[in-house]
Amino acid sequence: MKRKIVIALFVALLVLCLGGTPSIAVVNYPPVSAPNGPYTGFVGIPITLDGSASYDPDEPQDFIISWEWDIDNDGQFDDASGETVIWTWFTPYSGVVSLRVTDSFGETDEAIAIITVEEMVPGTISGAKFEDINGNKARDPGEGYIPGWIIKLKDEDGNLIAETTTDSNGEYTFDSLTPGTYQVHEEQLASWTQTLPDTGYWEIQVSNGENVEDVDFGNQHTAGPGPSPSVPSITEWGIIAATILLVILIPLTLRKRILVR
């Protein structure tokens, strides 16, 4: 290495002595296109194409000045420009998108990224609410379902999307769901302790057209105020009993009066 440096200095000195000016050749390396991917998405929903990972090996002396996209795969980079592009497909598509980058010396590079755009099919999340009498986090024979309990659907950040109430069979369903991550919570009620799930709520990943079932909640009834949404209170039991007695006794009384006459 030292020998090469000495030789180079000697040559430069010789050129200067002869009245010339040494020249240094500038080598320009082309930029590198990086369109990211693979991309997946759905018809009618914007997809972000990201070419920001593209670079020029000669930076900072040289740099990329343009990003051109061929989105319809016709070989022409005339569909969009910019480091990142937001594009919406209105029909299903499976193929590639291409990115061409150009540096300040006019050198270019091209690269492709795979993309798949599908029709979106709504999904569902469903489950049931049961009374976990023995608190073992599972529904056993003899443990019934609980109607009238509020179940909440939230996005992955915990923002409320919708809520519903368990039906007469203790079941619930959230439908028309786009693919993504959801949280499913239940309303917390006094005198009840949640046993299932352990985390307090379910985190569910719904794929395109997927129906996620058995997202169940278990609660154990504990001492304290606040009746179950499905179990009548003492007062309600009294009213029910009194009503039953009246339904039985009134016809009997009327029958006796008729027989006496």
pLDDT tens, position by position, 18-34? 555 555 666 889 999 99
**Within a domain: residue 83?**
yes
What CA–CA distances, in Å, run from 226 to 171, 202, 230, 231, 234? 22, 25, 11, 10, 11
Q: Which amino acid is at 146?
A: I
Q: Name the residue range of residue 184's domain.
A: 123-230
CA atoms within 13 A on the CB side of 28: 13
Out of 17-21, 105-109, 237-241, the most confident range is 105-109
The predicted-structure confidence for 38-52, as pLDDT tens digits, reads as follows 999 999 999 999 999
Count the helix, strand and coil residues of the chain and give each as a percent rounded to the nearest 5.
15, 40, 45
CA–CA distance, 84 with 36 (Å, rounded to integer): 10
134 shares its domain with 184: yes
* Total structural domains within the chain: 3
Structure token pair of residue 59? 């930076």
Enclosing H/E stretch for 257: helix 234-260
132 shares its domain with 207: yes
Q: What is the CATH number of the domain that holds 217?
A: 2.60.40.10
